[in-house]
């Protein structure tokens, strides 16, 4: 069995998609469609920067999605691959869940771009700049991370945001609480705590206004039928019902990204091969979760050609 997986925020960089657009008209069409849907030249920001514009959550989220869908469309149209014939399920990390739903036919490309733009804006607006923060705990499992979060909270929000793999957990919440957590890592047997360069505290209770905004947006643009089941971030289990998908996307804004558990659940269901499209971020995580899993990360034309040859 094979799963196609899609990266989340942090995988963006200036120059993303340039090689693909230069080599394939299919990729150029994707970037143009996203530009048209958003009424902005996002493709120019992706290609040329400036970096501070690309790092803005409202730009980074649709940009990462557009890049991954461009890779998928090139694989499909030029590599002759039909997703439903080569994949058994999809999954995505945080915003990557929207990319996965687009890949599975539940959202159009234009709707996915608009939803992610709104999601980025709503997440940024939910908490004033400087009030929230996130940190990565290196050498921490979920149990140690949870104990640290509880100890550092002191009445403020300090929650596990991402359970990425057995060695990396991310905390999110009030800046003071996150800074306390970083200062306390050694007391909890954790190797290192690193403040993340993010503009808002994602996946914690401070994001409630953004969850409300996404609930309204998804009422207006509900998910359609899925061609493949998706493993949802907040439940780490397969979902195929559009109404359930919509509910879980709202929950996901404040909820924990259970990536480690999602990968283990896919493995338990029989997935042996994970294909990451549009980045090389999830591949290493999956390798740390289960060293026996086969992982292919696909971001360039050479990667696409190699994968098409392998699975075609």
203 is catalytic: yes
Q: Which residues of 224-245 are buried (b: 16+ CB within 10 A; e: fewer)?
A: eebebbbbbbbbbbbbeeeeeb
Catalytic residue among 93, 174, 188, 203: 203
In whole angstroms, give the CA distance from residue 296 to residue 169: 23
11 is catalytic: no
In whole angstroms, give the CA distance from residue 77 to residue 128: 43
Catalytic residue among 94, 172, 199, 262: 94
Task: For residue 138, give the 3-state DSSP assignment.
Answer: strand
Q: Among residues 1, 7, 2, which one has the least CA distance to residue 298?
A: 7
In whole angstroms, give the CA distance from residue 232 to residue 243: 13
Beta carbons of 293 and 287 less than 8 angstroms apart: yes
Active site residues: 94, 203
């Amino acid at each position: 069995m094979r799963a196609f997986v899609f990266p989340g925020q942090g995988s963006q960089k200036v120059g993303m998609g340039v090689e693909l657009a230069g080599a394939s008209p299919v990729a150029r069409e994707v970037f143009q469609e996203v530009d048209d849907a958003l009424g902005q030249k996002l493709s120019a920001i992706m290609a040329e920067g400036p970096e501070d514009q690309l790092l803005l959550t409202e730009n980074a989220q649709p940009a990462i999605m557009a890049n991954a869908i461009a890779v998928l469309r090139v694989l499909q149209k030029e590599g002759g691959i039909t997703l439903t014939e080569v994949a058994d399920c999809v999954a995505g990390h945080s915003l990557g869940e929207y990319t996965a739903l687009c890949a599975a036919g539940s959202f159009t490309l234009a709707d996915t771009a608009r939803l992610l733009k709104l999601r980025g804006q709503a997440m940024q607006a939910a908490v004033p700049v400087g009030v929230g923060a996130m940190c990565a705990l290196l050498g921490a499992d979920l149990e140690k991370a949870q104990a640290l979060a509880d100890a550092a909270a002191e009445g403020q929000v300090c929650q596990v945001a991402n359970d990425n793999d057995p060695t990396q957990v991310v905390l999110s919440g009030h800046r003071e609480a996150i800074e306390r957590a970083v200062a306390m890592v050694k007391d909890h047997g954790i190797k290192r705590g690193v403040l993340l360069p993010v503009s808002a505290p994602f996946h914690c209770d401070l994001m409630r206004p953004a969850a409300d905004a996404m609930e309204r947006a998804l009422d207006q643009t509900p998910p359609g039928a899925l061609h493949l089941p998706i493993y949802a971030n907040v439940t780490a289990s397969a979902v195929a019902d559009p109404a359930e998908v919509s509910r879980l996307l709202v929950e996901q804004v404040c909820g924990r990204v259970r990536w480690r558990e999602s990968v283990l659940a896919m493995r338990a269901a029989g997935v042996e091969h994970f294909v990451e499209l549009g980045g090389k971020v999830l591949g290493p995580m999956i390798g740390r979760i289960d060293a026996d899993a086969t992982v292919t990360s696909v971001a360039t034309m050479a990667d696409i050609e190699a994968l098409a040859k392998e699975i075609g």
